[in-house]
A = this chain, B = another copy of it.
């Protein structure tokens, strides 16, 4: 329970690796190699991160990725949401009617609080913090 998807773990490791490189740039294949991530799978993840604007991409020969921002300005929340979407402990956490109970059970507030707690932790952890261990 509350397990972190491989997607997100891969994304964070890849970003962490990219951030600590000289020049802060690398190809997807290099990152996959360095972090033991299935190369083809990582490609899709990198696209997510690019779409979110956390990194920038260059196609073609000599292409690859580079950090779009300072690692201290990138939060774990941004990375998580880029690759796995907003976190949702229960389906009705934001849309009150999105569960069989129609948003009318007592525990719901508790789940909303949980989401806020997790979001807060993710938002206050920067890539810089994480990549430095």
A89 vs B110: C-alpha distance in the bound complex, in angstroms?
20
Selected A-B contacts with CB under 8 Å, 24 pairs: A1-B4, A1-B80, A1-B85, A1-B88, A2-B118, A3-B88, A3-B89, A4-B89, A4-B90, A4-B114, A9-B90, A9-B107, A16-B107, A36-B100, A36-B101, A106-B130, A106-B131, A106-B132, A106-B133, A107-B130, A109-B130, A113-B121, A114-B118, A118-B118
A104 vs B3: C-alpha distance in the bound complex, in angstroms?
19
Residue tally, chain A, CB below 8 Å to B: 40
Q: Contact between A12 and B113 (Cβ–Cβ < 8 Å)?
A: no
Q: Contact between B131 and A121 (Cβ–Cβ < 8 Å)?
A: no
Identical copies in the complex: 2
Does any Cβ of B come within 8 Å of A43's Cβ?
Answer: no
Task: Name A residues whose Cβ lies closer than 8 Å to a Cβ of B.
Answer: 1-5, 8-9, 12-13, 16, 36, 76, 80, 84-85, 87-90, 100-101, 105-111, 113-114, 117-118, 121-122, 125, 129-133
Q: Contact between A1 and B106 (Cβ–Cβ < 8 Å)?
A: no
A84 contacts across to B, CB distance below 8 A: 1
